[in-house]
Amino acid sequence: MSRDIAFYFDFVSPYAYLAASRIERLAAAHGRQVRWQPVLMTVLSKAAGTQLTPFVPMKWDYVRRDVARSARLAGIPFHWPPGFPKLLLAPGRAMTWLATTHGEDTAAAFARTCLTAYFGDGVDIEDREVLAGIAARLGVERAALLAALEDEAVKAAFRQASEDAIAQGVFGVPFMIVDGEPFWGFDRLDQLELVLRGTREAA
Amino acid sequence: MSRDIAFYFDFVSPYAYLAASRIERLAAAHGRQVRWQPVLMTVLSKAAGTQLTPFVPMKWDYVRRDVARSARLAGIPFHWPPGFPKLLLAPGRAMTWLATTHGEDTAAAFARTCLTAYFGDGVDIEDREVLAGIAARLGVERAALLAALEDEAVKAAFRQASEDAIAQGVFGVPFMIVDGEPFWGFDRLDQLELVLRGTREAA
């Protein structure tokens, strides 16, 4: 069994952004590596038969407050991006391509920069030129990234990632799987850490 | 504004049981009182347009693990009751009647005993004789409790409690409201405590 922490996220999920802000440090503290896997909540939700929160008014009223409070209490910079929520496809496709052509580390760095740009600074990360700029700062050729975003094989691979996640029992984000054990939500990082600590002590 | 912590729960919710095991100590540490309010998740869920978790198989598979893990990591005794889940009406009706006839403290003690009996010991708390026995140990006349369970006015009052909760924005349980601020879930007790601590320091 892999010792990686599988970290499933959607670029549009604020709770995934909060978890993303902490997951690398948490993993490093326990000698684990994070495998960043972008997915689409729209696909997960359809497969699981759940509703996306913004379409449940009473819950959405609460979640808007809860996200902001969770960020504030955790000391993580957070602002609602302009036009939130919207379907974000380009960053997931870009990351999928980066992972195969430039390696997992570059892809993960790209993802973290995108999430911080979106939820920290309100940058439109569905804008291809914005993504090309972020990639360029990681040493990726702009033209190659822009071409990848139009590549049907890349689109298909990103779509398949959500199906693969569903096969692992993933029905929402952020979702972490470590040593076969599933954890759903930013609010489960504490439990994930307790379990990792127990694993280390038992090792 | 009331300084009470409004604590909305359903006797059938394992997360409400976990929260119930901690809420009194948390409130007392910050000079607050808990107002225990039983509601029906079936009514909340219909009003909010959400699905009850056991009817969402992927989510239910996860939640079954998460509940047991949350209890274990929190050190709270927990066992899935026989025949779980089922609609529990009698304990909410009994508690509604107890609150008006024997006071909030007796009603809350009754609720805590019922939750521990159900999730700690697997006792059937829809059984009227069981409820009468729990009430009797709190000094309540058995016959009076058994009569109250058949009283249409008591049934209506318990039903109305869910409607009143919905009017406060409650869409799931456990749900806590303190100083007008809402907290949903056993996993929000830590944030509730942080907010109470901040309120005390600012006072």
A81-139, pLDDT tens digit by residue? 999 999 999 999 999 999 999 999 999 999 999 999 999 999 999 999 999 999 999 99
Nearest residue of B to residue A166 by CA position? Answer: B58
pLDDT value for B2 = 81
Q: What are phi and psi of A125, to 5 degrees?
A: -90, 10
Model confidence at A45: pLDDT above 90: yes
Q: Which residues of A28-56 are buried (b: 16+ CB within 10 A; e: fewer)?
A: eebebebbbbbbbbebbbebbebeebeeb
**A98 vs A9, A132, A144, CA distance in Å?**
16, 12, 10
Distance (Å, whole) CA A181 – CA B151:
47
Tell me whether residues A56 and B50 touch, CB distance under 8 A. yes
Tell which of B163, B187, B189 to mutate to test the A interface (max A CBs under 10 Å). Answer: B187
Q: Per the residue annotation, which of B13, B21, B70, B162 is the catalytic one?
A: B13
Of A48, A59, A194, the CB nearest to B58: A48
Question: What single DSSP character describes residue B13?
Answer: -
Catalytic-residue membership of B162: no
What residues of chain A lie within 8 A of the CB of B188, using their CB? 66, 187
Say whether the peptide bond before residue A82 is cis (omega within 30 degrees of 0): no
Say whether the peptide bond before residue A91 is cis (omega within 30 degrees of 0): no
Chain B contact for A54 (CB, 8 A cutoff): no
pLDDT value for B57 = 95
pLDDT value for A202 = 66
Model confidence at A5: pLDDT above 80: yes
pLDDT band at A2, cuts 50/70/90?
confident
Tell me whether residues B50 and A70 touch, CB distance under 8 A. no
Task: Report CA torsion sign: A114, A117, A119, A122.
Answer: negative
Question: What single DSSP character describes residue A177?
Answer: E
Q: Per the residue annotation, which of A2, A13, A21, A162 is the catalytic one?
A: A13
Chain B contact for A167 (CB, 8 A cutoff): no
Distance from CA of B139 to the nearest CA of A (A): 40
Nearest residue of B to residue A44 by CA position? Answer: B58
Tell me whether residues B51 and A51 touch, CB distance under 8 A. yes
Question: What single DSSP character describes residue B96?
Answer: H
pLDDT value for B199 = 76
* Rounded CA Rg of chain B: 17
Tell me whether residues B58 and A184 touch, CB distance under 8 A. no
* Rounded CA Rg of chain A: 17
What residues of chain A lie within 8 A of the CB of B65, using their CB? 181-182
Tell me whether residues A47 and B69 touch, CB distance under 8 A. no
Distance from CA of A84 to the nearest CA of B (A): 22
Distance from CA of A179 to the nearest CA of B (A): 14
pLDDT value for B1 = 65
Which stretches of chain B score pLDDT less than 70?
1, 201-203
**B39 vs A156, A163, B100, CA distance in Å?**
46, 37, 16
DSSP states along B35-93 = EEEE--HHHHHHHHT---GGGSHHHHHHHHHHHHHHHHHHT----PPTT-S----HHHH
What residues of chain B lie within 8 A of the CB of A184, using their CB? 62, 66
Nearest residue of A to residue B193 by CA position? Answer: A73
Of B56, B62, B73, the CB nearest to A182: B62
pLDDT value for A142 = 98
Question: Percent of chain A at pLDDT above 90?
Answer: 96
Tell which of A39, A43, A53, A58 to mutate to test the B interface (max B CBs under 10 Å). Answer: A58
The stretch A67-73 carries a mean pLDDT of: 97
Tell which of B15, B44, B58 to mutate to test the A interface (max A CBs under 10 Å). Answer: B58
Say whether the peptide bond before residue A174 is cis (omega within 30 degrees of 0): yes
Domains of chain B, CATH where assigned:
5-202 (3.40.30.10)
B103, with CB counted inside 10 A (0-12, 13-18, 19+), is exposed
Distance (Å, whole) CA A37 – CA A96:
8
Convert the pLDDT of each residue in A18-28 to its tens digit.
999 999 999 99
Chains A–B, number of C-beta pairs less than 8 Å apart: 70
Nearest CA to A13 out of A169, A126, A174 is that of A174
pLDDT value for B203 = 57
